[in-house]
Structure 1
């Protein structure tokens, strides 16, 4: 049971001070206030506080001096600086010394108070991290370091009992310190919301060379640059893409660049980068073909960021993920299912929280709250939100399929025909083809302009096929054969069954996804070869129960193993 929590709000500006206190009281804080640093120290001599929120610019004793003095105390309260002063040197100094968070005005006070409460609760549960700066933590570690014993510890009860929502909320503010995203991207995002012109936006983007490179790589995709002529002028790129899209693309590109630069031993960041880039490209083509421009705002941002929450969680909970990946590897299990046994929210929902932390409007990232929900459960959402979520889910799959970018623990979730029809996607094959072209252009452009050898790895788009290893028969009702496209990305080569009945290969794969229980008996079932049926439901009663069956959804790694073993 937690004790009551006490906060001291230090600010000489009345309106700001009252707003902070009101928000904290809503989160069950007992609040006192002080008008400056000297007043605050007097209050701290009389009482102890779990949280101190201080402005920087105040008379008598400013907030920086107050924070430095408090950090020397034992025990040290959670210290949050709340200020309009956006000075990188001051920010870096305070974070290095051990200040828990810096929040800039204007403020989302409800989110601010909820986060402050989470940080206090985390401090109460982990008193050993109090007041540790980057240079002052034990053995050179810090609470922001993923190697820190506090971040890396797993309780005796195992990983399932170790993570609460309060624990996650207390760590989310650390992400900006561990994985700094370009400040320029946030500025560009805000500028687009105030209708800045193309010249101003282009100039702002060019202030950050890494962001400019990421941005131009996306701008040179065939969707935005159908001529194929390399585009290097930033202002022209802004005009071509459109100012409405610039903000979300800048923020998405910067976040993608920062998070995929992180090295996690169990995660291939090039796969993450390709999946994200291709999903963003697929969104544009799906929106265009289905005529969904009215609901398309920020969907590119959502598509690109869909898997980055996993990088965040993996950074904050490295030991947990080592165990989860081992489980997935040992049992061919989906990482999303294993994460659900440990974390109270999905990695996509965590990414949504992080965007809120960055003051991105909640409605922007709302699809991330539901993007890992199975298709058949999305009917519970409002029609507009359902369409947005389904567009993102289809885009994620198209991105993976188009670039052949998979982790073995990725869940293969083939979009149902009914979903494509509802979205007005009559030619999903065309979407896949164009996404594939866009992804290749982006990867090639980045490789040519960065000299990054890893980035130069191309998607597996080879046209030279090896000798066939199995026959293939499509019994699906879908207009596009997703399964054949999936298998083509594996080390398997398929061929149609010969019309003359002369069979030379030992196996036939029969696609019954979406076919249902009333599927007519396919001639392939009469063939004298081993039959492997891939299905997403029950087979018709007339089908031989002894047939080898592979049921979707399943992990990509398990699908490869099942089909490869059979075809040998």
Structure 2
């Protein structure tokens, strides 16, 4: 099982330099993000975990020296900091090194040697941390891992060591005993020559799996003919062996959590999402099941919404405190998990599934499930498409349901990203999934299938302007789902009663902020791709996305109350 990729942030106002460093580090296996100045960079460092920050010195808004000082003073689990500059000033160099900067590289640069050196420095530092001798940690404010497990506050993200964390993951295979039959079934249906008699035997030997398969084959999600299947072999043939193993593992994993004490866990929502995800897989891959990585994408999409539960089981009291903190701060659970645990929940889940015997080639996309769509866009081409497909399947299922927990991250792909995976009509996919869910709801008394009941009817309205048109406007759809009707206008000057919602997401050109500022009012709300800086509106509300669902709700409440 491979570790999560190394993550780097490249900060430089020169596009050529940013691109050169990004390409060199990507070739060494880094997952790279970029920032054009210190203001944008410090937001990203506070919001995400990076292994390496490479920054220029001379930049507008906030220069590299100030950025380095901020990171050194604020971050308890700080990245490696490397200055990459053409400013060769001995006093400045001495000051930076004394403050704790790890290295200074002067331009012009041999980028291949530079990237190799960075990889070596980061790997050495990680090895030191794994061995318990981090050069940047102190013992004065760290809690023991045992104390954290029993609910002590999180004082230092390194308090849970990687060794201790991985040891707990090893124990999860006993805490969450997924059915051996489900795992045997997964291996059997993935064999080059699938033996249908063996499939039938595996299922029939497990009463729970048999009951679940018969229920599934006769459900309105998989059976719109009205014919009832009573024979196991007929049910297997109807569902199809291609999906049978994935569904069995996902269902058994969820059912194994039935008796767990996780007060914040909405099992009904998890089941609805599992159903919607199955429908999304069908809609996106119809007649395309020979697509490369189809097996891995469909399996990981079904496991995606269960990724939080694995870590939550190992650290239940601590996880409860994180969820409570989300409620009071409106931060996303993803951001708090990144600060608290040495591995992302998706990586942890992949490790546990590997312990259970799930083949590693099925797990590759899942390891990247906690990345934003913007980060996925920077992945190497060899893995980008499978990760993007998995995240898109999950996203379309969420959009069709219209249900989010307050702490969940609202993030959606650009039209350009969707076109890369041959999705050209997102609206048709969402409407198909919703239609299937609605027909299931009407034909079934099962509350789990009642997906559309939770979608709010708009009770307020606001003018809505989109700076750059997309193939499908996901933001306006999400705003409508939380109870606000958006009235599309052609210009920001069409604000009503001093209120307007402006969508600047996924823009290829910069909006005319200076011009807009002349007319901006307190009731203006701007949605953007990054943390608001002085470049954004001087009045009103600016919301960077991705953001938690609750933060988005609160932004709408503030604007509508003005």
Q: TM-score range by the shorter chain?
A: 0.5 to 0.7
Aligned to 1:322: 320
CA distance in 1: counterparts of 2:536 and 2:152, whole angstroms: 50
Aligned to 1:513: 505
SS in 1 for 2:256: helix
Aligned to 2:473: 481
The count of aligned residue pairs is 416
Q: What does the per-residue CA deviation read over 1:364-411, in whole Å, with 9 as the maximum and x for residues that have no partner? A: 101111122233433554424211100111122222221122111111
What are structure 1's unaligned runs of at least 5 residues? 1-120, 123-147
Alignment counterpart, residue 339 of structure 1, candidates 329, 333, 337:
337
Aligned to 1:424: 422
Aligned to 1:42: none
Q: What does the per-residue CA deviation read over 1:500-545, in whole Å, with 9 as the maximum and x for residues that have no partner? A: x998776332323223444479999979993322222599999854
Aligned to 2:262: 264
SS in 1 for 2:178: coil
Residue 160, structure 1, aligned to residue 187, structure 2: no
Alignment counterpart, residue 312 of structure 1, candidates 307, 310, 313:
310
Aligned to 1:565: 558
**8 Å Cα contact 2:403/2:454 also seen in 1:** no
Residue 471, structure 1, aligned to residue 463, structure 2: yes
CA distance in 1: counterparts of 2:258 and 2:426, whole angstroms: 29
Q: What does the per-residue CA deviation read over 1:145-189, in whole Å, with 9 as the maximum and x for residues that have no partner? A: xxx988833579846343222222322343233222223212322
Q: What does the per-residue CA deviation read over 1:428-465, in whole Å, with 9 as the maximum and x for residues that have no partner? A: 112212233445566778854xxxx6x36533476x94
| Deviates most, 517-526 or 556-565 | 517-526
**8 Å Cα contact 1:334/1:411 also seen in 2:** yes
CA distance in 1: counterparts of 2:450 and 2:239, whole angstroms: 26
Q: Where does 1:292-441 land on structure 2 (aligned, <5 Å)?
A: 293-378=291-376, 381-439=379-437
SS in 2 for 1:510: strand
SS in 1 for 2:343: coil
CA distance in 2: counterparts of 1:202 and 1:150, whole angstroms: 47
CA distance in 2: counterparts of 1:429 and 1:409, whole angstroms: 26
SS in 2 for 1:515: coil
CA distance in 2: counterparts of 1:426 and 1:292, whole angstroms: 19
Aligned to 2:178: 181
SS in 2 for 1:429: helix
Q: Where does 1:25-36 land on structure 2 (aligned, <5 Å)?
A: none
Q: Where does 1:72-87 land on structure 2 (aligned, <5 Å)?
A: none
Q: What does the per-residue CA deviation read over 1:449-504, in whole Å, with 9 as the maximum and x for residues that have no partner? A: xxxx6x36533476x945543233344421111012111221323344599x9987
SS in 2 for 1:244: helix
What are structure 2's unaligned runs of at least 5 residues? 1-130, 133-144
Q: What TM-score do the two structures reach when normalised by structure 1?
A: 0.63
RMSD, matched Cα: 4.0
* Largest Rg, 1 or 2: 1
Alignment counterpart, residue 281 of structure 2, candidates 280, 283, 287:
283
CA distance in 2: counterparts of 1:179 and 1:359, whole angstroms: 14
Alignment counterpart, residue 211 of structure 1, candidates 193, 209, 212:
209
CA distance in 2: counterparts of 1:231 and 1:475, whole angstroms: 53
Residue 555, structure 1, aligned to residue 524, structure 2: no
**8 Å Cα contact 1:508/1:524 also seen in 2:** no
CA distance in 1: counterparts of 2:517 and 2:225, whole angstroms: 45
**8 Å Cα contact 1:275/1:405 also seen in 2:** no
Report which structure shows greater RCO (CA 8 Å, sep ≥6).
2
When residues 486 and 225 of structure 1 are mapped into structure 2, their CA distance, relative to the original with a 3 A threshold, is same
| 1:261 Cα deviation after fit | 5.2
CA distance in 2: counterparts of 1:342 and 1:507, whole angstroms: 38
CA distance in 2: counterparts of 1:380 and 1:155, whole angstroms: 37
**8 Å Cα contact 2:296/2:361 also seen in 1:** no
